[in-house]
């Protein structure tokens, strides 16, 4: 994909993301149909489904050779990263959407043969959009985000962390390591939207995000955006991210990456 094609695709993606956000805002106070998926706290609403359908219909009509990889099942059955794939989380932070009517995002990443080319994260109620086209920097509301600062110390860092990973019975990571980590860093935050947590690391208002069970649609856009400001994204133990399956994630300032993995991440499996 050449630069012009990338730019045009980005413009189209942004137009659809803003339109989808506008539709959500207009219906934010409507009665909700709330269902659960993998467990009682894994929520989905008619709005998650309608929003993914909105993208799937638009993409199929305008780009019939592109693929859609979405959370709610209206996309294609994706088993490889070949071709142009729109990786979509129609509402990231559904629990926030249901309980708070804010603090959720639309997340859209466009990948070509496995390479993240375009990322868009739209904080719908705040009307704030984080965007990036590979190699062209990252933007918040079309203002360029600064590169992450050269130096950063762990004891002066804030990390987004889901407190669930501190429970001893969590099946993923040694809670001793997480305890030591929390005692070492300056503080933690939990926003409830992986996409926004990525965007905040890119913006430099938090310094990292460590988590255990994300899906490609949670991170596809965030990876593109964060890389553009010099951030690093790997699995929690430093491997390349697999954009097809569930994954652990460490997304952070490059100065902190090795230190976190070497001293605090002790995965159980």
Minimum CB–partner distance for residue 128 and ligand IPD (Å)? 17
Q: Pattern 77-96, binding to ligand IPD, x per CB under 6 A?
A: ------------x--xxxx-
218 binds Ca ion (CB under 5 A): yes
Pairwise CA distance, residues 112 & 69, whole Å: 13
Chain Cα centroid distance, residue 229: 15
Tokens 């496995």, residue? 114
* Residue from 52, 89, 117, 207 in contact with Ca ion (CB under 5 A): 89
Pairwise CA distance, residues 243 & 6, whole Å: 20
192 contact choice in Ca ion, ligand IPD, none (CB below 5 to 8 Å, kind-dependent):
ligand IPD
197 binds Ca ion (CB under 5 A): no
247 binds ligand IPD (CB under 6 A): no
228 binds ligand IPD (CB under 6 A): no
In what helix (H) or strand (E) does residue 219 lie, and over which residues does it extend? helix 216-228
194 binds ligand IPD (CB under 6 A): yes
Minimum CB–partner distance for residue 26 and ligand IPD (Å)? 21
> Is the Cα torsion angle 264, 266, 267, 268 positive or negative in sign?
negative
End-to-end CA distance of the chain: 38
174 binds ligand IPD (CB under 6 A): no
Backbone phi, then psi, for 250, in 5-degree steps?
-125, 110
Residues that bind ligand IPD (CB under 6 A): 89, 92-95, 162, 192-194, 213-214, 218
């Amino acid at each position: 994909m050449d630069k012009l094609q990338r730019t045009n695709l980005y413009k189209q993606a942004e137009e659809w993301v803003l339109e989808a956000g506008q539709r959500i805002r207009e219906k934010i106070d409507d009665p909700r149909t709330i269902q659960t998926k993998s467990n009682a706290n894994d929520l989905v609403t008619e709005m998650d489904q309608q929003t993914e359908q909105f993208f799937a219909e638009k993409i199929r009509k305008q780009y019939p050779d592109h693929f859609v990889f979405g959370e709610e099942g209206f996309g294609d059955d994706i088993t490889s990263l070949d071709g142009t794939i729109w990786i979509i989380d129609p509402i990231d932070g559904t629990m926030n959407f249901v309980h708070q009517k804010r603090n959720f995002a639309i997340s859209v990443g466009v990948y070509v043969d496995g390479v993240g080319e375009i990322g868009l994260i739209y904080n719908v109620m705040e009307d704030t959009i984080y965007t990036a086209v590979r190699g062209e920097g990252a933007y918040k509301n079309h203002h360029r985000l600064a590169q992450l600062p050269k130096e950063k110390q762990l004891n002066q860092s804030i990390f987004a962390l889901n407190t669930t990973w501190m429970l001893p019975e969590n099946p993923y990571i040694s809670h001793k390591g997480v305890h030591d980590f929390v005692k070492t860093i300056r503080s933690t935050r939990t926003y409830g939207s992986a996409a926004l947590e990525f965007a905040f690391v890119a913006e430099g208002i938090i310094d990292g995000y460590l988590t255990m069970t994300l899906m490609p649609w949670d991170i596809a856009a965030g990876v593109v955006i964060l890389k553009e400001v010099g951030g690093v994204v790997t699995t929690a133990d430093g491997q390349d991210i697999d954009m097809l399956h569930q994954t652990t994630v460490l997304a952070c300032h490059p100065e902190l990456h090795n230190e976190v993995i070497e001293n605090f991440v002790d995965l159980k499996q």
